[in-house]
Chains A and B, each alone.
Chain A
């Protein structure tokens, strides 16, 4: 510390010996603690000022400066901030500081690479480098990103086990901490402004910032980011496999059907109510022949009141406090419904003309109008209008003014339709 100026040390209050970072703060402190009138609370600027105020306004005398340590209560000394402090008190202070410094310096020495001291002498006491370089320090809980917290519902904010994968992924780089401009130390500063630029949705722009799961692989490419080129492939590269499934791994072969130890997978989200996981479901991937494969079998199994556990292909739909109004199978409502025979597409079997009024499963029944399915081939007859649909309501839309690029009227596509049917009926499940 240079000993050039009188006031080189941090500002300190003469009345109570406290240290302050800034002289302004020191003054505020003095006004509030030492120069405040106890009667009317008015803040004065100096001790004498306070004395005079009390005398004139309240007709009261003051003995000493309020809140001052013994020896420093002299109300006649005009001290303002650091100004007015008697020289000898300053020296006293300096001496005290020196002593303190020496103590801390001694300890400091041991950590320092400073060439003045021998490192091996001191047995490295417990002091860590002050303010070392805690890489993660100061980073906010990573998990807030997905924005789950604000809602704070039963489900813990932890985005699915996904994050469990991350720490190992990125040693020195903090996990996707959202956004404050400084973002990732790893990121070249040049990236940041780009981050803001989104709208044109040009790849390459946004990389680092939002990057939850999907960019996991990208993170490792961080250093490459500055190369616009490097970014483009990003979405494509990790593409298939790695992405997406924070929770799941690729579908299990349906054959398995086993109650896959879903829990075994580190990815299983610690969520509360339910969660889906690998649906061994795939009635879909199998060739349609299987029909309703997601069979109820595995699914309806259970509704464990507790949560977390979810067997493949099913959801945990109820818990002690809530109940999901949804079928157990982990498929969409439409998929569930479409499996039913009544909704199987009424693809005309060979030989039958289109009209397949063969109401499959009574689905057609409800329809009052004997609509003939305008299945390929039936399209001719522009006059069809709305056959039977709305009796009397003929005007087939011609009212609509806008001109239609009549590209399709009787255009080439027509003929293709006729060829369609063979394509359309592969197993014709749906």
Chain B
């Protein structure tokens, strides 16, 4: 099952984005389908934190909604609730106690959704769509961090309409991740900024991008002591960079690897290079998963620098992914990401969210 190198065309059905209707290429991995998926592309997925019993999954979509499902132990998914924005939802996250869900939208607002009462109120406002939203829990404060296309990064105490802090960024926020006390934001023009969150958020360092193409997704990883120590950055050019903040030997410790490309060994036709849409680290093993526009997901071990597995090709790009709090479940969303432009968009095409058992496949490779 572990495929080294790019997987050759293992006879997956589905050509391109449309996918054929004859073969079951919408779910070649035969994973569990989440019921009542959103009606338009899924932009983000997030599982509930360990502070809550059970597993609850939220997913935001371009249909302006964010939905919540309960994922039961037997694999059944039960839709629980939904909230709306007035524009596509681009990101969502949980509070640390699992009682609130924060959602960010193209409508330039962010909302706090109290799941108990099923009420959502606006807690943030930007001058442009909010692309990234994260909950920060520090010993001396808690807040929401929002990154927007208006080039600002703002921090909100949810009780006040004004931000506690607003930091200017060089460019539009494209993606971000937070693992206290570190936050990383990747912006347009290949910008990359690391923030430190102790006491209060402040810019820590601007890093020259290890990648040559537009940044698309970022995820922080931790070291053996469970402290954030670096991040994985994905671009639109089928490549991920593993970057440590303070490595003993940057030249050797930092590296990039190619992924989500077609034609592994076949060199006669031009290789298709797909964007990496999301990266997620397994909370226990520290291995990572990447999902791309090519409709595949891959698991990698960054320490052993090997690929653990690549999936079959789905008939649509995979736009989002996440692990649940204990790493047993890997969720990924199959929907159109616009990588081929407007022409390939089919509003009738169903969008899916799949759940896969991740306990075994993401075990790290033993280093010899």
Residues of A within 8 A of B347 (CB): 362, 366
Known contacts A160-B212, A324-B273, A424-B125; A179 and B248 CB within 8 A of each other: yes
Check A284 against B81 for contact (C-beta < 8 Å).
no
| Interchain pairs with CB closer than 8 A, number | 353
User: In angstroms, how far is the closest chain B Cβ from the Cβ of A332?
Assistant: 5
Check B236 against A324 for contact (C-beta < 8 Å).
yes
Check A334 against B90 for contact (C-beta < 8 Å).
yes
Check A386 against B338 for contact (C-beta < 8 Å).
no
CA of A77 to CA of B233, assembled, Å: 70
**A227 in the interface, Cβ–Cβ < 8 Å?**
no
**A175 in the interface, Cβ–Cβ < 8 Å?**
no
Known contacts A400-B99, A417-B122; A333 and B338 CB within 8 A of each other: yes
User: In angstroms, how far is the closest chain B Cβ from the Cβ of A279?
Assistant: 7
User: In angstroms, how far is the closest chain A Cβ from the Cβ of B107?
Assistant: 4
Known contacts A379-B120, A397-B80; A200 and B272 CB within 8 A of each other: no
Known contacts A420-B125, A430-B128; A346 and B161 CB within 8 A of each other: no
Check B118 against A332 for contact (C-beta < 8 Å).
no
Check B251 against A178 for contact (C-beta < 8 Å).
yes
Residues of A within 8 A of B249 (CB): 178-180
Within the complex, which residue of B159, B270, B339 is in contact with A321, where a contact is CB–CB below 8 Å? B270
Interface string of A201-214 (1 = CB under 8 A from B): 11101100110111
Check B273 against A235 for contact (C-beta < 8 Å).
no
Known contacts A244-B171, A326-B236, A366-B347; A389 and B82 CB within 8 A of each other: yes
Within the complex, which residue of A210, A343, A426 is in contact with B62, where a contact is CB–CB below 8 Å? A343
Check A323 against B271 for contact (C-beta < 8 Å).
yes
The residue of chain A having its C-beta at the shortest distance from the C-beta of B17 within the complex is: A325
Check B246 against A195 for contact (C-beta < 8 Å).
yes
The residue of chain B having its C-beta at the shortest distance from the C-beta of A414 within the complex is: B121
The residue of chain B having its C-beta at the shortest distance from the C-beta of A382 within the complex is: B117
Residues of B within 8 A of A151 (CB): 239, 255-258
Within the complex, which residue of A195, A235, A413 is in contact with B206, where a contact is CB–CB below 8 Å? A235
Interface string of A150-187 (1 = CB under 8 A from B): 11010100011010000000000000001110000000
Check A404 against B99 for contact (C-beta < 8 Å).
yes
Check A373 against B86 for contact (C-beta < 8 Å).
yes
* Stretch from A28-36, A57-65, A107-115, A140-148 forming part of the interface with B: A140-148
Check A379 against B248 for contact (C-beta < 8 Å).
no
The residue of chain A having its C-beta at the shortest distance from the C-beta of B214 within the complex is: A276
Interface-central residue, B117, B120, B294, by most chain A CB under 10 Å: B117
Within the complex, which residue of A198, A340, A373 is in contact with B342, where a contact is CB–CB below 8 Å? A340
Per the CB 8 Å criterion, the residue count for chain B at the interface is 122
Check B171 against A379 for contact (C-beta < 8 Å).
no
Main secondary structure of the interface of B (DSSP, over half): loop
Check A386 against B204 for contact (C-beta < 8 Å).
no
User: In angstroms, how far is the closest chain A Cβ from the Cβ of B153?
Assistant: 13
CA of A206 to CA of B149, assembled, Å: 30
Within the complex, which residue of B65, B115, B225 is in contact with A397, where a contact is CB–CB below 8 Å? B115
**B190 in the interface, Cβ–Cβ < 8 Å?**
yes
The residue of chain A having its C-beta at the shortest distance from the C-beta of B182 within the complex is: A201
**A301 in the interface, Cβ–Cβ < 8 Å?**
no
Check B170 against A245 for contact (C-beta < 8 Å).
yes
CA of A214 to CA of B258, assembled, Å: 25
CA of A375 to CA of B64, assembled, Å: 12
B contacts, CB < 8 Å to A: 36, 39-40, 43, 51-53, 62-65, 68, 78-88, 90, 97-100, 105-109, 112, 114-123, 125, 127-129, 131, 149-150, 158-159, 161, 168, 170-172, 174, 181-182, 188-191, 196, 198, 202-210, 212-214, 216, 223, 225, 227-229, 236-237, 239, 241-243, 245-258, 261, 267, 270-275, 293-294, 337-342, 347
User: Could you name 16 residue pairs across A and B whose Cβ atoms are closer than 8 Å?
Assistant: A145-B251, A160-B208, A198-B229, A199-B223, A199-B225, A201-B196, A213-B207, A215-B205, A243-B206, A318-B270, A323-B272, A331-B188, A386-B118, A396-B118, A397-B80, A409-B114
Taking A201-B182, A284-B150 as known contacts, 5 extra A-B pairs with beta carbons closer than 8 A to each other, sorted by chain A number, are A151-B257, A214-B208, A337-B338, A346-B64, A376-B122
